[in-house]
Amino acid sequence: MHFFSDNATPICPELLAAIAAADQADHGYDGDAWSARLDGAFSALFDTDVKALWIATGTAANSIALACLCPPYGGILCHEEAHIVVDECGAPGFFTHGATLMPLPGAGAKLTPDMVCERLTAIRPDVHQVPAHAISITNATEYGLVYAPDEVAALGDIARSHGLGFHMDGARFANAVAHLGCAPADLTWRAGVDALSFGCVKNGGMVGEALLFFGGQAQARAAQAQRWRKRSGHLFSKGRYLAAQILAMIEGGLWLRNAQAANAAAQALAQGAGDRLLHPVQANELFVRLHADEAAQLRAQGFDFYDWGEGAARLVTNWSQDAASVAPLAAALAALDHG
Amino acid sequence: MHFFSDNATPICPELLAAIAAADQADHGYDGDAWSARLDGAFSALFDTDVKALWIATGTAANSIALACLCPPYGGILCHEEAHIVVDECGAPGFFTHGATLMPLPGAGAKLTPDMVCERLTAIRPDVHQVPAHAISITNATEYGLVYAPDEVAALGDIARSHGLGFHMDGARFANAVAHLGCAPADLTWRAGVDALSFGCVKNGGMVGEALLFFGGQAQARAAQAQRWRKRSGHLFSKGRYLAAQILAMIEGGLWLRNAQAANAAAQALAQGAGDRLLHPVQANELFVRLHADEAAQLRAQGFDFYDWGEGAARLVTNWSQDAASVAPLAAALAALDHG
Amino acid sequence: MHFFSDNATPICPELLAAIAAADQADHGYDGDAWSARLDGAFSALFDTDVKALWIATGTAANSIALACLCPPYGGILCHEEAHIVVDECGAPGFFTHGATLMPLPGAGAKLTPDMVCERLTAIRPDVHQVPAHAISITNATEYGLVYAPDEVAALGDIARSHGLGFHMDGARFANAVAHLGCAPADLTWRAGVDALSFGCVKNGGMVGEALLFFGGQAQARAAQAQRWRKRSGHLFSKGRYLAAQILAMIEGGLWLRNAQAANAAAQALAQGAGDRLLHPVQANELFVRLHADEAAQLRAQGFDFYDWGEGAARLVTNWSQDAASVAPLAAALAALDHG
Amino acid sequence: MHFFSDNATPICPELLAAIAAADQADHGYDGDAWSARLDGAFSALFDTDVKALWIATGTAANSIALACLCPPYGGILCHEEAHIVVDECGAPGFFTHGATLMPLPGAGAKLTPDMVCERLTAIRPDVHQVPAHAISITNATEYGLVYAPDEVAALGDIARSHGLGFHMDGARFANAVAHLGCAPADLTWRAGVDALSFGCVKNGGMVGEALLFFGGQAQARAAQAQRWRKRSGHLFSKGRYLAAQILAMIEGGLWLRNAQAANAAAQALAQGAGDRLLHPVQANELFVRLHADEAAQLRAQGFDFYDWGEGAARLVTNWSQDAASVAPLAAALAALDHG
């Protein structure tokens, strides 16, 4: 059983069906009937006017969002372990034409308002220093922690008062909402978020995330994002297959059910892992203390996962699992505990 | 019946089947079993060592190829109606960080050796002028014309003697080969081509083209292209679905059969169009003289297509058609002829 | 006697004196007393509120201006022989992060309103094509022709009605004004110009041009330009020496006297050249028909200049000359005429 | 008396004289007689073949050097307080097209081999992470400390063994050499340095630093740097005035004498400052503990300088001073000490 990554998982059947259903002639690019429904579907989900674009990957969605929020000479406050910092080979620098990522520390890959304010204060307001223009957070974070609405809002307040754009990398946004049980709106625009990379692929899609813009500048930013999308080779000629997947994900609530399943599987594993946990488990990722020989034992039992430095491992659950299906690993972890 | 674009066509069934067959857990990005087979499959097809990457779109494949062949301060000789000039919203400028497209005229969107040499001669070899670093041609061209191997080789010779990289935009490479009946190798590396954007989407795919590198620098350029692919957000987390489509296209010869069908359909229409043709028909595109009222007549009969300026139209055939299936439009065109 | 270029000429004595006068301790960058006077001095000269920055070179001033007027995905309408197209090694592409120069033909390197309108009309308003965002003209042009105020205004009207920025490369702006005898304002902001590269170096300076912004967006654009200036390594640590030169040039009318002298020299040569002239002589450049052996005769008499393709030559006069001082070359040209 | 910055100081008389001596007609850009002597002069000074370019500012010299050593998808190891990180408004990101600065901590703004190795080890060699391509150090550092030849060589060894380029920001290189009394070669190419920004402006120049390339790739990198220089608007049309200043600085040893004077002044102040010093004084900068009221006392006595955060100040000496001339401030500092 694989716990490598939610990327390693197959497509969920409803999305394969949606692809098949979209398999008919229509206009190219985003001129098709499916793409045309995105704004409406996301506006319904978020209870406000949303401008939505399909974008192939999370890296591209993040980078295009940042390019709309930050000029080339600006900076983006973010966590030092954020995906945009450590796992995108400099994509934000490419799309923003050289804007500066301003990495900050923080437990569980979460930014705190204090840390952000302190960094903002340290920037001299002269032409020699890079001025901050945006804040970017990941929810759920790279360590599987979830920002609650009030935590997001605290950062959103800072963003607003300093005239900064506010971006959320939501590669696992669904897992965050599933954990919180809140309205998507509460975690985003009501908390000051301007742009959201809404993840689908880790949650059961084949290809295609959604980039969402909220608020008064949504239309202008989306228009700009459409230029970036084309200019970066991301305007697929058969965009309807991406739009169809995204619609299948959100129109009937599949996005949330899939995330709930993955989260439940993670909770089951967390029970088994006990005090091995390096971080609280809130979404679908677990980071556990695990000696090399313990890891070998688990692998010998057919459980695959990545090491996370020395003496630790990362376990990622996914939409196709639930508490029952991961019970064998939970038991194996618990058995190690007493070994 | 649609003649808008080969982009408007559904996916061909073999590729949908290949997607379904690839729908199993595997490593993310290009670490999967399908991606691993690309080099071998293309090396077999091109009868030489090829380095191959899947890339979502033709725009991205073209731009990444050019970024590997031309520095930011260099120039790229190309036709003034090339896709990279008129239909990519500046993507080559984005990926190359500001390299200069050097557009040239030429009948049927084809470059001639004379034109290329004349332009090269006009560049002063000082630091003030942009030096040419690459030639890019499209085969089949944007007007459906095909460069034969000796025509490509004549440009390849210029490229070699001037130290220029040589790129071919092969969005409709299959149609060119189908028209010529030559070996793919003859039209590419044997004629001096360094990099080929090998089109699949217009030929029946859902998403995913192949970017191929030939020759002694293939490995180094492909390594660089992998960086650009990641950095531009084009390294899909579930790349196996792209690789599987491409393999299904090329391993059994589907790519050529599909193109042959589309070309045959185009020939049938060409018969019907007679002296309305603005360009010889060699691949799967027709450009025809057509008054507005004639266009209206055809549309009233259920044929859809794009106008091409005043008094002209573009008709594009595709893999799902053949001479028989387009006979009604051929007849309608011929009927207009005598109208 | 040198007629290579106005770049080849020494510094005019008033500017050397100004450098010496500024040679005292002051704050670095543009925090000094001289830099602080630029806005005021140019506002007086142009009879409106002007924001002014010193910039080392015309290439940098042009590129920074364009970066303030055009986004990376936009296009800039300009003449195909403009300095920004043929003599800046792609600098505009560098500063604008890949914006597209859209070169147009036109006699004497002048754009005509018709040509500009025709090109604008040909751009499809979809996301695939690069949208025009700016017009850039050179006054006096690269062939020494001068746009009169009404000619500039005709282009300015187009710019305004299409929402385009309007830039003037004024490397030889002084020569244009000297020819026209008009107010600087008439040739710039009153005619719709948003940004002017105001040349000083060809007119007697050592290093330093002025980049001027006019109109309602002047302040915002100048703030942006200050960022680009720093980010491109153009914020000199001892900026006072640039500012002092520029002030010495404009505060007492030296800029105009120098240009008048150069223009007068050019007129004297034009008399001598007679029907050899390839273009009307309006500023300080002459383009003359000249066979290789005729060129050799002149050089043997001590006159140096550049060939301009086969059978032609370019002669550039400068601030240190006048009709009398160039009389020997005028005579030599006239003598050839009858040779 | 000013201790703001070595930027605030006038030009030293020898350089003003050199400007005047160069004030004659010659070819434009770097085609003049002075520019032609740079390679030779620096080759003599560094006892090896050197390729040298004049560049207006240190920011531009640093950025162009880095653009020659690091691709857009690469990273540059440097100190978190390096000028390229904190004082260039993202210029390195602009010139390198988005390469990633990788800031490291370290006392006195010095990198240590251990720190560099640790960071290198932490980079996964996959396509998702930015690979290091260069190391950049500042000598003397931003805190006035000097890397000795063996310290540079230890970093140079790491660079060589990891295939990294090695850049030295030598805005105050002269002060470092003056402190060490070593050969310039020992501190640079013999210690593995590939590119040096050789500062002149802080050492008495008006405008113009030198960018030097050493070693087997020097020629190729210098050719590339010439393209960047032009493309970034840094190829002055009257480059002879920059070259003349640089030659006047180095051909007769002025660069070293000026630095020795500034260093001697700093040592005199260091004596006065006693245990107020926050860093050892090795070059021409002092960082001293100083309460607000103490700072006010000094300013009341006519000494100007910048605060350096709360309770501290920075004092910079320059070429025009020496131990005797700064004795009043030294005494004033000592008096405070006992106050």
pLDDT tens for each residue of D28-48: 999 999 999 999 999 999 999
Chain C residues touching residue A224 (CB < 8 angstroms): 71
DSSP character at residue C81: T
Average pLDDT, chain D: 96
D202-219: average pLDDT = 97
Does this model's pTM top 0.90? My answer is yes
Nearest residue to A171 via CA among A109, A96, A99? A109
Q: Where are the beta strands (DSSP E) in D194-291?
A: 195-198, 209-213, 285-289
Domains and CATH numbers, chain A: 13-254 (3.40.640.10), 255-337 (3.90.1150.10)
Q: C-D interface: how many C-beta pairs under 8 angstroms?
A: 149
Nearest residue to B224 via CA among B107, B118, B70, B84? B70
Round to whole Å and give the CA distance between A269 and A334: 9
**Which residue's structure tokens are 């595997």?**
B26
Q: Burial letters for B19-34: b for 16+ Cβ neighbours within 10 Å, e otherwise?
A: bbebbebbbbbbebeb
Round to whole Å and give the CA distance between D132 and D159: 10
Round to whole Å and give the CA distance between D28 and C12: 16
CA angle C113, C117, C120 (to 5 degrees): 140
D178: its two tokens: 């003056």
CB contact under 8 A, C202 and D237: yes
CB contact under 8 A, B227 and D71: yes
* Residue D111 pLDDT exceeds 90: yes
Which residues from B are below 8 Å from C when comparing CB atoms?
A: 72-73, 75, 86-90, 93-94, 96-101, 127-130
The ipTM assigned to this model is 0.96
Chain A residues touching residue D75 (CB < 8 angstroms): 90
Residue in chain B lying closest to D68 (CA):
B71
* D127 → closest Cβ in B72, B128, B235: B235
Q: Burial letters for A77-102: b for 16+ Cβ neighbours within 10 Å, e otherwise?
A: bbbebbbbbbbbbbbbbbbbbbbbbb
pLDDT tens for each residue of C6-22: 888 899 999 999 999 99
pLDDT tens for each residue of C46-55: 999 999 999 9
Nearest residue to A211 via CA among A28, A333, A38? A38
CB contact under 8 A, B230 and D71: no
C-alpha distances in Å from residue D259, one per residue of A38, B63, C65: 66, 49, 38
pLDDT band at C250 (very low <50, low <70, confident <90, very high): very high
CB contact under 8 A, B227 and D127: yes
Chain A residues touching residue D118 (CB < 8 angstroms): none
A241-268: average pLDDT = 98
pLDDT band at A8 (very low <50, low <70, confident <90, very high): confident
Tally the C-alpha atoms within 13 A of residue B208's C-alpha that lie toward its C-beta: 29
* Residue A61 pLDDT exceeds 90: yes
Average pLDDT, chain C: 96
D229-243: average pLDDT = 97
CB contact under 8 A, A73 and C97: no
D318-325: average pLDDT = 96
Using 70 as the pLDDT threshold, list the residues of chain B that sit under it. Answer: 337-339
CB contact under 8 A, B73 and D227: yes
* C90 → closest Cβ in B90, B94, B130: B130
pLDDT band at D337 (very low <50, low <70, confident <90, very high): low
CB A61 within 8 A of CB A55: yes
A46-52: average pLDDT = 98
- In Å, how far from its chain's centre is CA B124? 32
Give the closest-approach CA distance of D230 to chain C in angstroms.
Answer: 6
B252: its two tokens: 């059994």
Round to whole Å and give the CA distance between C60 and C83: 12
CB atoms within 10 A of CB B298: 20
| pLDDT score for B92 | 98
Round to whole Å and give the CA distance between D251 and A92: 45
Q: What is the DSSP string of B291-332?
A: -HHHHHHHHHTT-B-EE-STTEEEEE--TT--TTTTHHHHHH
Chain B residues touching residue A201 (CB < 8 angstroms): 237-238
Q: Which chains touch C (3 or more CB pairs under 8 A)?
A: A, B, D
C-alpha distances in Å from residue B307, one per residue of A26, A277, B290, B304: 17, 63, 9, 10
CB contact under 8 A, B128 and C90: no
**Which residue's structure tokens are 């942006």?**
C224
* A89 → closest Cβ in D73, D87, D94: D73
pLDDT tens for each residue of C59-104: 999 999 999 999 999 999 999 999 999 999 999 999 999 999 999 9
Largest CA distance in chain C: 61
Nearest residue to C101 via CA among C88, C117, C118, C114? C88
| pLDDT score for A339 | 46
Strands laid side by side in the C75-79 sheet: C51-55, C209-213, C195-198, C165-170, C132-138, C75-79, C100-104
Residue in chain C lying closest to D305 (CA):
C27
Chain D residues touching residue C7 (CB < 8 angstroms): 28-29, 237-238
Residue in chain A lying closest to B233 (CA):
A60
In SS3 terms, chain A reads as CECCCCCCCCCCHHHHHHHHHCCCCCCCECCCCCHHHHHHHHHHHHCCCCEEEEECCHHHHHHHHHHHHCCCCCEEEEECCCHHHHCCCCHHHHHCCCCEEEEECCHHHCCCHHHHHHHHHCCCCCCCCCCEEEEEEECCCCCCCCCCHHHHHHHHHHHHHHCCEEEEEECCHHHHHHHHCCCHHHHCHHHCCCEEEECCHHHCCCCCEEEEECCCCHHHHHHHHHHHHHHCCCCCCECHHHHHHHHHHHCCCHHHHHHHHHHHHHHHHHHHHHHHECCCCCCCEEEEECCHHHHHHHHHCCCECEECCCCEEEEECCCCCCCCCCHHHHHHHHHHHCC
CB contact under 8 A, C94 and B72: yes
CB contact under 8 A, B234 and A56: yes
Query: Which distant-in-sequence residues (6+ apart) come within 8 Å of A17 by Cβ?
Result: A248
Give the closest-approach CA distance of A277 to chain D in angstroms.
Answer: 23
Residue A296 forms beta bridges with which residues?
none
DSSP character at residue C107: G
* Residue A208 pLDDT exceeds 80: yes
Chain A residues touching residue D99 (CB < 8 angstroms): 90, 93
Chain C residues touching residue D4 (CB < 8 angstroms): 27-28
| pLDDT score for C339 | 46
| pLDDT score for C337 | 60
| pLDDT score for A338 | 52
Round to whole Å and give the CA distance between A110 and A279: 12
Q: Which of B118, B123, B130 to mutate to test the interface with C (most CBs of C within 10 A)?
A: B130
Sign of CA dihedral A190, A191, A193, A196: negative
Q: Which of A3, A84, A197, A236 to mutate to test the interface with B (most CBs of B within 10 A)?
A: A236
Q: Which chains touch B (3 or more CB pairs under 8 A)?
A: A, C, D
* Residue D21 pLDDT exceeds 70: yes
C-alpha distances in Å from residue A14, one per residue of A23, A42, A317: 14, 18, 19
CB contact under 8 A, A93 and D87: no
Average pLDDT, chain A: 96
B137: its two tokens: 């041609």
CB contact under 8 A, B97 and D231: no
Round to whole Å and give the CA distance between A323 and A334: 15
Tally the C-alpha atoms within 13 A of residue B168's C-alpha that lie toward its C-beta: 34
| pLDDT score for B337 | 61
* Residue D50 pLDDT exceeds 50: yes
Chain B residues touching residue C86 (CB < 8 angstroms): 128-129
CB contact under 8 A, A230 and B91: yes
pLDDT band at D339 (very low <50, low <70, confident <90, very high): very low
Chain A residues touching residue B7 (CB < 8 angstroms): 28-29, 237-238
